[in-house]
Amino acid sequence: MLNVSTRCLKIVAGLIWFTGALVLVVKGGSLLAEAYILRSELHWPWLAVVSGLALGFLQAKLVFINSCRKNLDRISKLERPKLWQFFTTKFFVMLVAMILVGATLSRLAHRNYPFLLSVAVLDLSIATALLASSYVFWKHGDSFNIYAA
């Protein structure tokens, strides 16, 4: 029941990976906007953006790219792939935990300038790492080749 191709799982994994990045860009941007409204005379939000980008590219290189490759290799080895197997159970548990922690941090950061910037750096660094590593999904075999069977 709910058997799918490995190609389908790779596409779903890539789309969710990319969607997570977009959500974090929007979330981080809204935190930066709130920080700017609180203290528009300060230039710390720009440093937060640069820091988030730099940390994100580092995370992509050191962790996320290898994680993407391992997941795609794992998917390729599935004999009877099911729709929910685009990520491992462990990854889903970690994802839920990260979402809950991120939402809590964002809620706690409101009206606190340094906290807003810190959470924005965290969100932007993870978003950058997700975006920078997402090329692995797009380049991996024929996952996104529209002519592949």
Amino acid at 104: T
Look at residue 137 in the predicted model and tell me its pLDDT. Answer: 87
Look at residue 79 in the predicted model and tell me its pLDDT. Answer: 93
The set of residues, in sequence order, having a beta carbon less than 8 Å from that of 7 and lying 6+ positions away, is 142, 143, 148
3 φ, ψ to 5°?
-70, 140
Amino acid at 77: K
The set of residues, in sequence order, having a beta carbon less than 8 Å from that of 111 and lying 6+ positions away, is 34, 38
Summarised one tens digit per residue, pLDDT across range 5-54 is 999 999 999 999 999 999 999 999 999 999 999 998 888 889 999 999 99
Summarised one tens digit per residue, pLDDT across range 48-63 is 999 999 999 999 999 9
Q: Tell which residue, 139, 65, 61, 14, has the closest CA to residue 22.
A: 14
pTM beyond 0.75, yes or no: yes
- pLDDT greater at residue 98 or residue 138: 98
Mean pLDDT for the stretch of residues 130-144: 81
User: Contact 32/45 with Cβ under 8 angstroms?
Assistant: yes
